[in-house]
Amino acid sequence: MLDVRIGFMPSSHAIADDEHPGLMRAGERASAPYVRDNVEHHICGAVDLCGDDTVRPDLIRYGFDTVDLSQLDPLQQAFARIRDAGHMTEADASVIRTSLDGATLRSAGAGNLTVLHLADEGLIMRQSGPNGLSVVGPTSTGMNGHSAATSVHADQDVYGTPLTQLMDGRAPSLFRHDSPDGRNSEAALMLVNLWIPLQQLTQPLVLADGRSVDRRRHQLRYGLATESFLERDDDTVINDIWTFLHDPAQRWFLRSEMDHRSAYVFDTLSTPHGSCTLPGEDVAEQCYLGLQDAEEAAAAGDTDVLAAAASLVAERVVPAGAPPALGEAIAAMLSVAHTAATDPGSVCGDARAEWLVASQSARRQVVRMSLELRLVVSVESPPAA
């Protein structure tokens, strides 16, 4: 169990939903789940599935699962290219879609998923630095340049836009879902998100066990404006999604280390999810920024500034509570900083190119990079517990 920081919709921003009596929605002051303003943070206990194999979530009962992508070679090659380049090309996107179209994905929760349809929109890449540090520009560019979610949400209201328009109101009867004002537990079809970590030692995706969520009290409708990142007709430009209030009864799960050999699959219509901050990410952020300053000084040949910046990093220690993989990444940054602090002359001289590569590589390891896209799948139910 890890104590992680998770962002939620502030309870003060919840108002009565006049169109759905007895339910709540996010008020006018509420922010989208990808901005930093008006977020209420809570420290929540979350089960780290990297260290606890006694719990095996599945898509039907919990609302999320993991699937094995390791055997899809063209897909793995595309993921490696995107990770190394730091952005996704149209050619990479085409490989991803072709590889997944019609695929049968083996899930850890003992049920196979068959991909029936890939949504035309929504294939994007997200990046975030440690402790929520922004590492992308102020606006996204097509599939790239998207930051991580800052608060818990679910991506689509089965009763709202655009599903109502796209499916002539049939979505609630066709898709399995669990909503504050309706439920379908019989359908074999699910609208799911596939969340693929290219690398993830910081800002992991955290997901709630849907059974632990009081949907009528803590799940709020929100109209998300999409003009800045999607091309839609006027009647579908506002995307109806869900935001969530915090409650101590909610059960949270994550993996503190994950790469693109496996991916999360979760219920687009129902599953609360978002990024969270692990213990030790504050130190990782300080090391990241300190090494960035040191790299600028080394590139300029300023030994005094280099020594000062590197020394501030080198004197830090790996936090005792950090997960193992994050602790190792922090230790790598400390080692790079120690080299510069003890011999700034060499780092500004003959060893500069080699040290800069090592420093940039160490910093890069603590940047979370992930891909996501939306699928319609048919689901084999897991065995009864």
Separation of alpha carbons 178 and 208, rounded Å: 13
- What is the 3-class SS of 259-327, one letter each residue? ECCEEEEEECCCCCEEEEECCCHHHHHHHHHHHHHHHHHHHHCCHHHHHHHHHHHHCCCCCCCCCHHHH
Average pLDDT, the chain: 92
Unique residue bearing structure tokens 């220690």: 317
Q: Is the pLDDT of residue 3 over 90?
A: yes
Q: Is the pLDDT of residue 226 over 60?
A: no
Q: Is the pLDDT of residue 382 over 60?
A: no
From residue 105, alpha-carbon distances to 69, 70, 113, 196 in Å are 7, 11, 5, 13
- Token pair, residue 138, equals 């102020």
Separation of alpha carbons 81 and 92, rounded Å: 8
For position 237, what pLDDT does the model report?
Answer: 64
From residue 115, alpha-carbon distances to 12, 104, 158, 188, 259 in Å are 40, 6, 19, 12, 21
Q: What percent of the chain is predicted at pLDDT more than 90?
A: 82
Give the torsion through C-alpha atoms of 189, 105, 253, 179, to 10 deg: -10
- Token pair, residue 317, equals 């220690």
Q: In this predicted model, what pLDDT tens digit does every residue of 10-60 receive, in sequence order?
A: 999 999 999 999 999 988 878 888 888 889 999 999 999 998 778 889 999
What DSSP element (H or E) covers 244?
Answer: strand 238-244
The average pLDDT across 161-183 equals: 92
Distance of CA 361 to the CA centre of its chain: 21
Please count the helices (runs of H) and the strands (runs of E) in the chain: 10, 21
The average pLDDT across 325-337 equals: 97
Q: In this predicted model, what pLDDT tens digit does every residue of 353-374 receive, in sequence order?
A: 999 999 999 999 999 999 999 9
Structural contact between residues 261 and 304, judged by C-beta atoms closer than 8 angstroms: no
Structural contact between residues 205 and 254, judged by C-beta atoms closer than 8 angstroms: yes
Structural contact between residues 172 and 158, judged by C-beta atoms closer than 8 angstroms: yes
Structural contact between residues 40 and 9, judged by C-beta atoms closer than 8 angstroms: yes
